[in-house]
Structure 1
Amino acid sequence: MTLFRYFAEMCEKIESIPGSLEMTDVVSGMLQEIEEDELPVVTNFVMGAVFPPWSTKLLGIGSRTLYTALAKSAGTSEKEIEDIIRKTGDIGETAVEALKQDSSTQLTFDSYIEEEKELTILEVYERLNHMANSSGKNSQATKVKNLQYLFNATSAVEARYLSRLVVEEMRIGVGEGIVRDAISRAFDVPVDMVERAFMLTNDLGIVAMAAKHGGKEEVAKLDLQLNRPIKMMLAQITPSVESAINDLGKIAVEWKFDGARVQIHKNGDKIRIFSRRLEDVTSSLPDIVAAVKDQVKSETVILDGEAVAVDENGRPRAFQDILKRFRRKYDVEIAVKSIPLTLNLFDILYLNGESLLDMSLRDRRELLTGCVDNDYRIHVDSQVITDDETEIQRIYEEALNAGHEGIMLKNPDAPYSPGKRGKNWLKKKPIMETLDLVVIGAEWGYGRRANLIGSYALAAFEPESGKFLPIGKVATGFTDEKLAELTDMFKDLIVMESGTQIEVRPEIVFEIAFEEIQKSSNYESGYALRFPRLVGVREDKSPEEAETLERISQIYKSQWE
């Protein structure tokens, strides 16, 4: 069994490396060294996650819980922990400094810790898993006690990376791209095979295990699996219908609904619904579950579609109304009546035991229409295949007049590419694309808003490193009511405060409107937004779905074309 100390020392080494190629070499070596059953854990840990992306488990450890555990472990006060983090600006360094203090009042979760005993990687994982499974009124006390045990059994280097891990922010520059390449290098499996297997499983740990166990042959066997959601295929914006026709020729034209993306897994009468962020939202959407049970005829199927909240006239309601449905935990039936949903299906990924991802959209569409009986609750979206610009423009105007966002323009011969954003799916909307950016920091207001967070630091995503690169701040577009709501949303995500400045875990995505993107040396991204303003909170999107630096660069260049 591999010690957690080894993992922490590898993280320390990786953090000191400036280049991604050398990082990949170190991660590759680590994957070769550890045991096979440790691979799923380490592939997530090194990216700053405890569980794979498809998992419904949440560690649920906020800064307050972590401060309490550190204070108890160090025999000091929570105020002292807060003072240290203001000085260090990093929870890892805070843990190191706090636990260096020699205190006779240190406590442990168990009555003692054997002097020679050191934590293994799997022991750390089991403790964290236990915390994620704890619930009820004593759950926070359980988490504090388990964290206390872990901190009292760790060395300084282990404490640094353990504390970062429990808030799921490792900060060593390792993202999915580096882990993907490391698996390829460690087990001699082509990168494109690793990438495809990851897209099919949404779990690099499973891919690593297969690669170590049986190389290319085992990786090639990995496929879609019911109740394990995969990343959804994405679209990029097209400047015009004419441009889309030049790119694709004949186009499958569909409405772009003003709703929330869902992935539906049906196994007999058992239905599970996942949001765009791959969160299980089944319990919040009993009306959609009932519609799928009644109207989808296939025994096993995975469907892709859009849930739309509709008013009494059948027109789409505000996006925030849809989010109310997705977030609802109690009095769900009341929400069903007050905010009814319709389900618009536009793709099928799996049918009766067979993956359909490699089929063309044209063929998938035929199978989709064959297994759904349309009614007022659920229907297959209408689609027209044409290269007639006038016809496409007519459909576009029709969608806008119905209250929706625009149209989707798809390559009818393309396969389904999970998690990919490319020219096989294009979207056409009437206004300039807004940006989805991750909040990485904030600042307390002043005067009558002193108890509210008044501005937010925004960042774009760099997929290879997993880093969020600052691109500006937004402080307009807020009412006092909205600021209070956002302050409540962010209070458990605060990592560090220094004066009025706040650092938060990168979990919330803002939709931001702007006048222009400018070059700037003030931000690590190299860009800045002119006159940014908040449009809304994209609770349906994960931080990894935020705009990439490449996308920001493309928009910047397009401004001058």
Structure 2
Amino acid sequence: MEFARLAHTLEELEQTSSRLTLIELLTELFRSIEQPEEIEQVCYLVQGRVAPFFEALEMGMAEKSVTRSIAMASHSTPEHIAALYTRLGDLGLVAGQVKSEEGSIPSVLSVDDVFLGLKAIAQTAGKGAIEQKSARLTDLLTQVDGVSAKYVVRNLLGNLRLGIGDATVLDALAKARWNDVKKRKLLEGAYNKTSDLGLIGRTIFEHPDEEEAQRAVAALDIQVGKPIHSQLAERLPEASAILAKMGAVVAQYKYDGLRAQIHKDGKLVTIFSRNLEVHSHMFPELITGTLKQVRAERAILEAEALAYNATSEEFLPLQETTRRRRKHGIEAMAEQLPLKAFVFDILYKDGVSLLDTPLTERLKVLEETLHPADDTPMLTASHMVSDAHALTLLFDEAISLGLEGLVVKKLESRYEAGARNFTWVKLKRHSAGALNDTIDCVLLGYLYGRGKRAALGAGSLLVGLYDPDRDVFVTVTKIGTGLSDEQWRSIRERTKGLEVDHRPARVSSLIEPSVWVEPQLVLEVLADEITRSPMHTAGKVGGEPGYALRFPRLVSFRERDKKPEDATTVQELIELYDSQGKR
């Protein structure tokens, strides 16, 4: 396939506000590709990548270097390109405009040509790497047309502005291969285990027979070195409701830290974040501790990493723990703020996947595998509980230790990668308001302020929740309190590169903000209660009102430690509303 064809499809995807149109365009695109390897490349490119998210392959080019390459490829000057960038606010648009104005005849490059060209830029390292990367990008931009140049640059900078979620790509793959969107569930199961859209795309098109393709993708399993999508917990308001629904359970402390999935492959230890990113280099003490304490050649452990003072048995706040997420000064910060990884599950050991093994058996394997010698990875205590009073006492103990509460799990539950259901339930500490828990919302846009707020750049935030059944983000409230002047000023900086000139295709809203934002940023929000509202689309069906947060205030920005699709769901909100006793 010619890259120019892909680039024009990307432009159509960018311009639509309909998720169904996104699926149709992607379906048509996948059906027009003949080689499975090229489908794999396109799956990565529509994510703004040249590899799966978990491969630490970064382009490593600053805007200044990209500006120079655009200038050289278009026979212009860096000053002219910089002036255009100031006006347009998007180097992709700048590259597209100057290439179109240049009027040269582009070469015919395939998707493979551009994909390998971008990958070569990412892999260039060592002495003189900056100059080599710039030269490679200049050569690539010299050969492409204006529309292609726009998406080459955006892909390189990691900001395609397409608003395509993983579920949308999976829908399109299912429809392209079997003409059946319902097959997305099959693909989703494989994706939650492998975290690799390209692998799934290539696998289903490598097998001409439709049933063979289904068997092949169903056979994809977890591998050490590839992150597994974390299982998520539902919510219930109190101990009695949990035991009534789940029966006897295992209760574990809920730590307010950073999710750490630890992969051990011989002497190699890789630590993945909740967002599937490699964070190994940030946590050297966890790597050392894993090598000392894990009695297995190959293993995958689920843990929560947080700053912890073992002497005083004090858990430090999340704000302290997040100081460890950095690129520089890692050793000094590790000395100043050492981490503990509280390990609560094991998913794989020495060639055997444990996903389908009952929880009680997994916990026995975990206890046999994790040696307590150094206590850097620490075994999370697991309590078998069968009555509400005992669960409440355990919950009170967790709160007294400064923790968030408990995660309660069915005794015989299997580990369901990426799933959110009532085999895991979280019981969190109550807040002062009538709503007993914070809500993780997604920023969808902001409205300009008036008076003093006008000078701050934003006056209120439009936020929403995720609806996994429809793969859309729906509005739930506008936030105008809880932010300092400095935080209001930071909104434009936080949303830089995410602003779009029309409603994103995966957003459902009756409210029109001053500025739309791609749903990427997660915010922790507290409110007094949940009410019904005709103005918001969360849970709205037909002419019935939706659900909304009353008197919301911002608690914190999640600093990208949580994917927008992992935010609070509409179903969770409705269950919280019902638990208030509303009718």
Closer/same/farther in 2, CA of residues 536 and 14 from structure 1, 3 Å limit: closer
Query: Match of 2:388?
Result: 389
Residue by residue, what CA displacement relative to the aligned partner does 1:131-169 show, whole Å, maximum 9, x if unpaired?
434568976766665555444433344345445544545
Name the structure 2 match of 1:352.
350
Whether the 8 Å contact between 2:98 and 2:146 is mirrored in structure 1 is: no
Q: Is the aligned partner of 1:414 residue 2:435?
A: no
CA distance in 1, matches of 2:302, 2:363: 11
Q: Any conservation in 2 of the 1:360–1:412 contact (CA below 8 Å)?
A: yes
Superposition deviation, residue 221 in structure 1: 2.9
- Residue 533 of structure 1 corresponds to 553
Q: Contact 1:277 / 1:541 at 8 angstroms: preserved in 2?
A: yes
Q: 1:272 is paired with a residue of what secondary structure?
A: strand
Given candidates 94, 117, 124, the residue that maps to 2:107 is 117
Query: 1:81-230, aligned counterparts within 5 Å?
Result: 81-84=85-88, 96-97=96-97, 99-102=99-102, 115=105, 117-134=107-124, 146-159=136-149, 161-162=151-152, 164-172=154-162, 174-188=164-178, 190-214=183-207, 215-230=213-228
Q: Is the 8 A contact 1:434 1:511 kept in 2?
A: yes
Deviations 1:226-258 (A, max 9, x none): 111111111121122222222211211111123
Residues 174 and 447 (structure 1 numbering): CA distance in 2 closer, same or farther, change over 3 Å?
A: closer
Contact 1:349 1:357 in 2 (8 A): yes
Q: For residues 296-335 of structure 1, what are the structure 2 equivalents within 5 Å?
A: 296-311=294-309, 312-325=311-324, 327-335=325-333
**Residues 500, 518 of structure 2: 8 Å contact kept:** no
Secondary structure of the equivalent of 1:305? Answer: strand
1:466 to 1:60, Cα distance in 2 relative to 1, 3 A:
farther
Letter in 1 for 2:437: E
Pick from 465, 474, 480 the counterpart of residue 460 of structure 1.
Answer: 465
Contact 1:275 1:281 in 2 (8 A): yes
TM-score by length of 1: 0.83
CA distance in 1, matches of 2:302, 2:254: 13
Which segment drifts farther, 351-360 or 276-285?
276-285
Counterpart secondary structure, 1:427: strand
Q: Deviations over 1:387-432 (max 9, x none)?
A: 2111111111111112111111111211111111111110001222
Task: Give yes or no for the alignment of 1:515 onto 2:536.
Answer: no
Change in Cα spacing, 1:482 to 1:192, as seen in structure 2 (3 Å) is closer
In structure 2, how many angstroms separate the alpha carbons of the residues matched to 1:527 and 1:95?
43
Alpha-carbon separation, structure 2, partners of 1:490 and 1:134: 29
| Contact 1:169-1:505 at 8 Å conserved across structures | no
Q: Percentage identity across aligned positions? A: 29
Match of 1:9 in 2: 8
Contact 2:53 2:277 in 1 (8 A): no
Aligned CA distance change for structure 1 residues 536 and 173 (closer, same or farther; 3 Å): closer
One-letter code of the match for 1:541? Answer: K
2:440 corresponds to which residue? 436
Two-structure CA RMSD over aligned residues (Å): 3.9
> Structure 1 residues 451 and 66 mapped into 2: Cα distance closer, same or farther (>3 Å)?
farther
Matched, 1:546 2:567: yes
Unaligned runs of 5+ in 2: 208-212, 431-435, 502-512, 539-545
> How far does the alpha carbon of each residue in 1:5-51 deviate from its partner, in whole angstroms, 9 at most, with x for none?
22233345556777655654543343243212112221132344443
- Is contact 1:509–1:541 with CA below 8 Å preserved after alignment? yes
| SS of corresponding position for 1:101 | helix
CA distance in 1, matches of 2:121, 2:444: 25
Q: Which amino acid aligns with 1:545?
A: D
SS at match of 1:262: strand
Report the residue type matching 1:438 in the other structure: V
1:455 Cα deviation (Å)? 6.2
Distance 2:70 2:349 in 1: 50
The whole-number CA distance in structure 1 between the counterparts of 2:468 and 2:45 is 17
How far apart, CA to CA, are the structure 1 residues paired with 2:122 and 2:437? Answer: 38
Helix, strand or coil at the partner of 2:169:
helix
- Given the superposition, is the C-alpha separation of residues 198 and 5 from structure 1 closer, same or farther in structure 2, using an over 3 Å criterion? same
When residues 469 and 390 of structure 1 are mapped into structure 2, their CA distance, relative to the original with a 3 A threshold, is closer
Q: 1:469-526: per-residue Cα shift (whole Å, max 9, x none)?
A: 5555545434466668x579738646579xx977766544322222345566767767
What CA distance in whole angstroms lies between the structure 2 residues aligned with 1:468 and 1:144?
38
TM-score where L is the length of structure 2: 0.80
Matches within 5 A, 1:449-528: 458-461=463-466, 463=468, 471-479=476-484, 486=490, 490=494, 493=497, 507-517=520-530
Count of matched residue positions in the alignment of Structure 1 and Structure 2: 543
Q: Deviations over 1:254-307 (max 9, x none)?
A: 111232211111122221212222222222212222222222111111000112
* Separation in structure 2 between the aligned mates of residue 522 and residue 99 of structure 1, nearest angstrom: 44
